[in-house]
Amino acid sequence: MNIRTMCTLLVCAGAPADVMAQGVKSQWLAGVHSGQSSDTTATGWTQVSAGHRWQQRQWKLQLSSGYLHLDDQRSGMADSWLRATWLFQQPWLKQWWDVQWRLKLPTASASKGLGTGSVDHEVRAQSLIQWKPVLAWYYGGYRVRGNSSEYELQNGIGWGAGMAWRRWSLAYDGRESSFWGRSALHDITLIRSFRLGQTRLSPYLRRRNADEWGAGISLRW
């Protein structure tokens, strides 16, 4: 069984987790996203994503993947991500903290330009601050990129901050480029969240650097 098939089966098998383990909350995740360029291509793209999240007390585990289509007609499975988060139970310096580890599984084809083909690890620490009715956060992290047969990659830091007020959120995210000699990436994202029955919907609009735009919607239920 190859890595693409394995990740697809893991995502699709997520639902029974809340039955198998007491005290585990589980949620389905889905979304549609689009943009004008990515790390590996300058053409526009659209991705349909799916995933599952489990939470037990201060621990969260999330697995997600998707299908990626480029405007020049290249398409295939997107990269898959495994994310584990530890939520601190006690405040420190009047702030709440979490530590997150992410693993990128190279299920996207590097030869087609859908991904880099590398196994990446990222560690991130994030702080949450509540000023009623505003929730603010900031974070910093470091990403170690693995070997790629198609690209020469570099490790790099990531950083960001944001705030949420009622159902609106504004976030800034920055990171060093995956490739040597390229400029860092800067994203500003505006998000509006609301509920439709048991489903939480979050449409967003994103601007990257000076001239690139993206948009999409995320669903959670």
Q: Is the pLDDT of residue 100 over 90?
A: yes
The mean pLDDT value of the chain amounts to 90
**Number of separate domains in the chain:** 1
Q: Is the pLDDT of residue 38 over 60?
A: yes
Give the SS3 label for residue 3. Answer: helix
Contact 4, 107 (CB under 8 A): yes
End-to-end Cα distance, the chain = 30
Q: 66-95 pLDDT, tens per residue? A: 999 999 999 999 999 999 999 987 788 888
Query: Cβ neighbours of residue 33 under 8 Å, at least 6 residues apart?
Result: 46, 47, 49, 214, 215, 216
Q: Which domain holds residue 155?
A: 3-220
Please compute the mean of the pLDDT values over residues 179-183 and round it to a whole number: 89
pTM of the model: 0.86
pLDDT value, residue 21: 54
Strand bridging mode 80-87 / 96-105: antiparallel
Q: Which tops the pLDDT comparison, 142 or 88?
A: 142
How does residue 156 score in pLDDT terms, banded at 50, 70 and 90?
very high
Task: For residue 17, give the H/E element and its range.
Answer: helix 17-20
Query: Cβ neighbours of residue 29 under 8 Å, at least 6 residues apart?
Result: 49, 50, 51, 52, 53, 62, 64, 218, 219, 220
Q: For 114, phi and psi rounded to 5 degrees? A: -85, -15
Q: Is the pLDDT of residue 195 over 70?
A: yes
Q: How many CA atoms lie within 13 A of 174 on its CB side?
A: 10
Q: Is the pLDDT of residue 109 over 60?
A: yes
Find the CATH number of the domain harbouring 136: 2.40.160.40
Contact 177, 156 (CB under 8 A): yes
Give the SS3 label for residue 107. Answer: coil
